[in-house]
Amino acid sequence: MTALAPTDKPAAQSILEKIGAGNIVVLVLLALYPAVASDFFLTQIGAYSLILGMISLSLMLLAGYGGMVSLAQISVAGIAGYTVAIFGLNNSGVHGFGWPFWIVVPIATLVAAGASALIGVISNRTEGIYTIMITLAIATAFFYFTQQNYSLFNGFPGYTGIRAPEFWGVNWRDPMPFYYLCLGFAVVAYAAVLYGSRSTYGLTVQAVRDNPRRMRALGFNVTAHKVVAYFYAGIIAGLAGVLLVWFNGRISPGTINVSAAINVLIIAVIGGMRHPIGPFLGAVVVVLMQTFAIDIVGAERFNTLIGLFFLVIVFVSPDGLLGLWGRIKPHLAQESLRSGP
Amino acid sequence: MSTLERPGASAGLSGGGGITKRQAWGIVWLLAAALFAWLMLGVWPDWVNAILTSKKAFASAVLNGLTLAGLYFLVASGFTLVFGLMRNVNLAHGSLYLLGAYIGYEVATRSGYWLLGVAAGFVVLALVGLVMQVLVFRRLEGDDLRQTLVTIGISIVAADLMLAVWTGTTYQIVTPAWLDGAVGLPIITAVKSNGEAVFLRYPFYRLVVLGVAIVIGVGLWLMLNRTRVGMMIRAGVDDRAMLSASGINVHAVFAIVFAIGAGLAGFAGVVGGSALSVAPGEDVRYLLASLVVVIVGGMGSITGAAIGALLIGLAEQIGLVYFPTYGIVLTFVIMVVVLAVRPQGIMGKAR
């Protein structure tokens, strides 16, 4: 905890300056993080937060820019994870073709993105709040399917013994390389979303979110834009799914169950969906709570704690911690002016 | 058969002719119903047995599907009413079901009266629904997404607290003696070599569940279509602002609907917990069932919920018998097909 505090606090402040310099400061701090963090903080907190943050980022992309709250993003990540287990190596004695990682990872990402686009096609038959219902139904159905089906998903036990590869003389399973691997992927995803949100396509998607009828009248293919957004979100969630399966070393229906699907939403809502940094912020908060709440309320009642925290955030600040910060910041600035010399 | 179908097909194309499209559909439904009646009541020749494994397996699957559909209808009708009227996607609906089941279990085992447990399940959950509506949802009116997020938060906390109180043990609510046992049905499963017919025996309680679901379904329909409150609810589903403008206390109507919806979920919990079992995780199962039933049947429609429940219940049980590991896919396929053909659901209104 003490090791994390100094790196985390300035990070949260500089992000909210919402300028390029802020991003660079955060990146430098995150890159220097391994210098102060133990192996536990590096993987169980650092890498895990980055992975969960990426999955939530894919939700933030859809919900924040597209107005489509999809609860099936963990299923998309899970599809990538299962693809890695099936085409790569696993210990379960089912499938496991043993293809090299540089083929498996692109395949897994593309399969996930394709699945995500398909979910987009299905859920875009209706609009608004229906999306949540349809994607939740898809996520739940997929969870039950992986649990029942042994020929493809190996049922309840799932796949074990999936390992991050070794290349360039580096064993990417070790804490520090794995942290940098996650950081690299997360930074690329974050930058892509930030850049994409300012591109013509990104602006079009945001316009579709704000007024689909007008955009349709202007001649834009609303559904196609949304489905493409699902595809991009699927790439991010798919990459995160690959990292997640390497992180856990296994994938089973438990990884993608309904509470996992809802966890992704909780992270995005707690962090805030106005800016791509929100999901990462939320992931850090949730992972820290997950790790240290055990000391406060005991491991058993963690869900009550996170649920209540989530309820408070939804009631107090619909834009999550980012929105909360946005409201407090002006007051703080005034305080510092008054108390200043 | 082909002569009957031809005029229907031509009517569908031209719109004129002897038979309207509606009549053609009627004939198709009639034929399907006749085929189904024969499958259930008739004695199967060998080739049908060869395709569908056995008459007993098929008939049991259909009956199980029907009783499950009854249960799904009880849960989903509350969900669809609440959604139709308030645009509130209550993702804590599964938790209401499970809480009802636990409360029913406690009351039934402690008092020894099963019926008291059923009543308690309904009443307590109706009160819980009332409290949820007044304390939580009224504050977030008109904000669909936040209401939904709140219900997700509630379902997480509720699931965890229920786990704390009732642990992970699986409970079985004991039904009274007069509901136990099996009854013979006029469905011939096989004919013995001496010409004697073997009839299907089926648990009496499951038939009661089906009967109760039908009674409640009819009751709901009557309430919605024949009473003053029902009229208000229907008006609210169509145009909430206008209902409020015509001097009705909309909040009172909302509270009534939420209480009925939550109460039905609790009721279904006790009834379902007696037929199957009560355990953590059941909340998710019934939430999924409600979601799919309502997506398939159409939001805000009781008839739609009945049709959706029938489709999903039958698909689930028949899928379980004929392709066990892909059963859930069948449910999913039904949902996707309905969304593709009729995005608003079978009985949903186009908007």
Cβ separation of B154 and A307 shorter than 8 Å? yes
CA B224/CA B222 separation, integer angstroms:
5
Average pLDDT over residues A73-86: 89
Angle at B30 between CA B25 and CA B31, to 5 degrees: 100
ipTM of the complex, rounded to two decimals: 0.78
The SS3 assignment for A140 reads helix
Residue type, A235: I
Domain with CATH 1.10.3470 in chain A: 50-339
B36-49: buried (b, 16+ CB within 10 Å) or exposed (e) per residue? eeeebeeebeeeee
Percent of chain B clearing pLDDT 70 (strictly above):
88
Between A98 and A247, the more confident residue is: A247
pLDDT at A255 over 50: yes
CA distance A122 to chain B (A): 7
Angle at A115 between CA B341 and CA B155, to 5 degrees: 80
CA B187/CA B202 separation, integer angstroms:
10
**Taking the CA of residue B322 as centre, how many other CA atoms within 13 Å lie in the half-sphere pointing to its CB?**
21
Helix (H) / strand (E) containing B199: strand B197-203
CA A67/CA B15 separation, integer angstroms:
41
* Residues of chain A contacting residue B87, judged by C-beta atoms under 8 Å apart: 129
CA distance A99 to chain B (A): 27
For residue A14, what pLDDT is reported? 44
- Domain A50-339 falls in which CATH fold? ABC transporter involved in vitamin B12 uptake, BtuC (1.10.3470)
CA distance A201 to chain B (A): 25
Cβ separation of B160 and A149 shorter than 8 Å? no
Measured in degrees and rounded to the nearest 5, phi and psi for residue A186 equal -65, -40
When pLDDT is cut at 50, 70 and 90, the band that residue B266 belongs to is very high
Judged on CB neighbours under 10 Å (0-12, 13-18, 19+), A333 is: exposed
Residue B51, number of CB atoms within 10 A of its CB: 10
For residue B1, what pLDDT is reported? 41
Tens-digit pLDDT profile for residues A286-312: 888 888 777 776 667 778 888 888 888
CA distance B152 to chain A (A): 8
Mean per-residue pLDDT of chain B:
81
Residues of A with CB under 8 A from a CB of B: 69, 122, 125-126, 128-130, 132-134, 136-138, 140-141, 144-145, 148-151, 258-259, 262, 265-266, 269, 300-304, 306-308, 310-311, 314-315, 318
Pair type for strands B182-191 and A250-251? unpaired
When pLDDT is cut at 50, 70 and 90, the band that residue B229 belongs to is confident
CA B331/CA A143 separation, integer angstroms:
13
Tell me which chain B residue has its CA closest to the CA of residue A265. Answer: B149
Select from A243, A85, A259 the least CA-distant residue to A161: A85
Is the four-CA dihedral A222, A225, A231, A237 of positive or negative sign? negative
For residue B267, what pLDDT is reported? 92
Select from B35, B60, B64 the least CA-distant residue to B48: B35
Residue B350, number of CB atoms within 10 A of its CB: 6
CA B221/CA A188 separation, integer angstroms:
55
For residue A15, what pLDDT is reported? 45
Select from A148, A89, A90, A87 the least CA-distant residue to A112: A87
Tens-digit pLDDT profile for residues A197-207: 888 888 888 88
Which of B152, B284, B326 lies closest to A149 in CB terms? B326
CA A309/CA A326 separation, integer angstroms:
19
Select from A125, A147, A143 the least CA-distant residue to A134: A125
